[in-house]
């Protein structure tokens, strides 16, 4: 994905990316060059849905190895196989770490500004 001045890549994996989109104060989820816009609430619910994927059930030979994930603030559904599920979990974990790092940096900057 080409980053614009309104979009900032938060974290990427081989086939997925999450960008923060300042135009509408939300996120852009990119999976194999397909883009899905999510507001903050939609991203939060998407993150919860991805974290709740049960890999034991997904790997069971009695069930198909597909999971359906709804994107909350639009009418799209993702059909996720085991490989994409793992990659999305990695994307969510990496993005969460980057958000936490960003928060720590901003707290440090504010603290320095207050003591200057």
Question: From CA 46, how far away is CA 38, in angstroms rounded?
Answer: 9
Q: The whole model's pTM is what?
A: 0.83
Instruction: Report if residue 1 sits inside a domain.
Output: no
> Which pLDDT belongs to residue 93?
96
> Which pLDDT belongs to residue 30?
95
Domain count of the fold of the chain? 1
CATH number of the domain within which 70 lies: 2.30.31
Question: What are the tens digits of pLDDT across the range 29-85?
Answer: 999 999 999 999 999 999 999 999 988 888 876 777 888 898 876 678 899 999 999
Q: Which domain holds residue 52?
A: 7-115
Instruction: Report if residue 65 sits inside a domain.
Output: yes
Instruction: Report if residue 2 sits inside a domain.
Output: no
């Amino acid at each position: 994905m080409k980053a614009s001045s309104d979009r900032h890549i938060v974290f990427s994996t081989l086939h997925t990316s999450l960008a923060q989109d300042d135009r509408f104060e939300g996120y852009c989820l990119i999976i194999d060059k397909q883009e899905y816009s999510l507001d903050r609430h939609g991203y939060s619910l998407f993150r919860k849905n991805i974290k709740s994927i049960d890999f034991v059930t997904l790997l069971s030979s009695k069930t198909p190895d597909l999971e359906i994930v709804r994107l909350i603030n639009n009418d799209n559904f993702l059909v996720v196989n085991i490989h994409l599920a793992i990659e999305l979990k990695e994307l969510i974990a990496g993005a969460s770490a980057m958000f936490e790092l960003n928060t720590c940096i901003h707290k440090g900057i504010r603290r320095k500004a207050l003591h200057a």
